[in-house]
Amino acid sequence: MSSIIFHLAFPVDNLPETKQFYVEGLGCDPGRESKHSLILNLGGHQLVAHVSQEAGVLQASIYPRHFGLVFPERSDWQALYDRAQAQNLKFREMARVRFVGTSLEHSVFFLEDPFGNLLEFKHYVHAEAVFGDRHMERVGDR
């Protein structure tokens, strides 16, 4: 199943700003583009930014809606964090470690794009925690 990729569509209200944040800022590869949408490659997954009047709706917290990547290698997570800082991207939450000393321990940071979409980037100390450790009830910070 390694050839299966994830697809996510999300609202934006300005394609040049979308390119600035996702291509220049995050380093996504751009794909097809029309005057209403832009395809982006984020970690081998297909994002589609659609121009919409629904863009810009801000959430009070990181829940419920956000998307992002889980990095298998800490160095890749760190490289993206460093890039986001160098590109002056807007951090919704700076890097921190959640669930220290447990099997769920992971590093995380959140970015906010110019349209209010939230992106989460994580690296788990124990890879099995990504989908496993079902006996643990903790999910997120709530």
Q: In whole angstroms, give the CA distance from residue 15 to residue 19.
A: 6
Q: pTM to 2 decimals?
A: 0.90
The order of strands in the sheet holding 37-42 is: 7-12, 45-51, 37-42, 29-33
pLDDT in tens, the chain (142 residues): 568 999 999 999 999 999 999 999 999 999 999 999 999 999 999 999 999 988 888 899 999 999 999 999 999 999 999 999 999 999 999 999 999 999 899 999 999 999 999 999 999 999 988 887 665 565 666 5
